[in-house]
Every structure is written in structure tokens, then in C-alpha cells.
Amino acid sequence: MKLVEIIPAIQTDPAIVQQVEDLVKSWGKRTVRAKDTPGFIVNRIARPFYGEALRIFEEGLADPATVDWAMKEIGKFRMGPFELMDYIGHDINFAVTETVFEAFYYDPRYRPSFSQKRLVEAGYLGRKTGRGFYQYTPDAVAPTPTRENQLGKDIVHRIVCMLINEAADALYLKIASRDDIDLAMTTGVNYPKGLLKWADEIGIARCVETLDRLYEEYHEDRYRCSPQLRKMTREVSKFYE
């Protein structure tokens, strides 16, 4: 793992934080600093990568193979959400989601998925048990994704906008700096771009429009737009000027 998140407690002496950072850097690691909040940077911001993919699947908008194809081929992520959950293990991934959900006092943005819960209950934990969203037996046949370009673009845009919203909110709440957020997501989980830089490329106003459209469709707080994005839309500003 290239990245180490350094989390000072409220009582931590700043000199100790610097000593720890210097020590970790001497090991050849990259460091970021984050406020002591649930999930810190990576495990907080990455929740929609799994959660929104699961929501798309549960609504019947696309199957796991199609979501994974879109995120890899169009989004340029190294792994799709479903194959990554299978790789991590659903017992671990689901437990992390539950922990973050509870730690944020049951904020709907982090609500776990019943589909994943059922896999855990059945013992279908992914690669390590031979079955998760995919089959891993020697005679298993890989499912064929629906390679429709517009569908793929819609999937990527929806999930990326949700990720951007989390990243923007982490900045708004001063969980970490702009640079540390983008470094954490590109180095810690190998995202193809920093999410805040990606937001500039997509357009902040377009991200807000997408989130508002989802909120109007579902009227669920999971789609509430970060005040950071709204403010930047009003000011016609960017994360990287």
C-alpha cells in the first residue's frame, strides 16, 4: 500500500503528527492528513463506488457485468465495483459499510445494500468462497455485459458524480485538503483521476444538476448535493483554478 492516512486526535501534539509523517515518508510511503471522523478519507469517499453500483443493480438498470464493463472501459477504473467487492470479500466490504453507516448516525448516504447482505448470509463472499456476484469455479462462464455506449456513459456519470459529491463534502467539512483528497483517491484506491479535478473536467454545475435530478427522482437524502458544490456553482469557480 503506497498511501498512509495520518489521523491526529484532538489531543495529539502537532509535533507528534510531524514526526509520524516524517517516519512514514522515510519508508517510501505517500502521506495525507485527515480529521478524526468515520472512514477518514478513502473509506468515506469511496462508499458510492459500491453503494451506487449496488443501487443501479437493484433497480434493474444494469447487471453487475455491465456496470463493471462501464466503469473499466469508459470510466477507466482498474476494477469494476462488483468484481472489487468480490475480490475484497463481501463479509469485509459489507462490515465496513455497516460501520460507516452506524458511525454517521444512519445517514442514508451510507446505507448498506440488502443484496450484499444476502450474499454474506448465504456465505457467498466472493473469490475466497468461489461465489459472489460472479462464479469462480473452474467451469464458470463469465457473464456478457450489455455494451451499450450511452448506458455505459450514464452509469459512469452517475457513480462518478456521487463520488465527487462525497469528495466535495469532505473538503467542505474540512476532513482533508483538496490535494490530500485527490492524492488519497488516486494513490490509495487507484482511481484514474482525482475526484475534485474530475469535477472540474465534468463541470461543477453539471454535477449539481445530476445530483438534483437524482434527488428529485428519489427524494432520498443519499442524493443531497454538497453545499460546497452549490457554492462553487453560484460563484462559477473550480477546485483547480
Q: Is residue 175 part of a domain?
A: no
Domain span at residue 67 reads 43-147
Please give the average per-residue pLDDT across 22-40, as a whole number. Answer: 97
Q: Is residue 232 part of a domain?
A: no
pLDDT at 184 (0 to 100): 98
3-state secondary structure 82-121: HHHHHHHCHHHHHHHHHHHHHHCCCCHHHCCCHHHHHHHH
CA distances 188 to 8, 30, 183, Å, are 19, 9, 8
Q: 83 CB contacts (<8 Å, ≥6 apart)?
A: 64, 68, 133, 134
Q: Is residue 224 part of a domain?
A: no
pLDDT at 34 (0 to 100): 98
Q: Is residue 61 part of a domain?
A: yes
Best CA proximity match to 2, nearest among 158, 159, 194, 185: 185
SS3 content of the chain, % helix, strand, coil (to 5): 60, 5, 35
Q: Is residue 196 part of a domain?
A: no
For residue 29, the one-letter residue type is: K
CA distance 119 to 90: 7
Q: Is the pLDDT of residue 1 over 90?
A: no
Q: Is residue 37 part of a domain?
A: no
Q: Is residue 138 part of a domain?
A: yes
Q: Hey, what's the cell of 86?
A: 468480490
Residue 89: burial class (beta carbons within 10 Å; 0-12, 13-18, 19+): middle
User: pLDDT averaged over the chain?
Assistant: 97
Q: Half-sphere exposure of residue 4, counting CA atoms within 13 Å on the CB side?
A: 15
Q: What's the domain count of the chain?
A: 1
Residue 135, SS3?
strand
Runs of H (alpha helix) within 104-194: 114-122, 149-172, 178-183
pLDDT at 41 (0 to 100): 98
CA distance 77 to 30: 21
In this structure, are residues 87 and 157 in contact, taking their beta carbons and an 8 Å threshold? no
Here the CATH number for the domain that contains residue 133 is 1.10.1040.50
CA distance 229 to 235: 10
CA distance 241 to 115: 41
pLDDT > 90: what percent of the chain? 99
CA distance 126 to 1: 22
Q: What are the tens digits of pLDDT across the range 132-172?
A: 999 999 999 999 999 999 999 999 999 999 999 999 999 99
pLDDT at 194 (0 to 100): 98
Q: Is residue 217 part of a domain?
A: no
Q: How confident is the model at residue 221 (pLDDT cuts 50, 70, 90)?
A: very high
Q: What are the tens digits of pLDDT across the range 35-91?
A: 999 999 999 999 999 999 999 999 999 999 999 999 999 999 999 999 999 999 999
| Cβ count within 10 A of residue 229 | 24
Beta bridge partners, 131, equal 126, 135
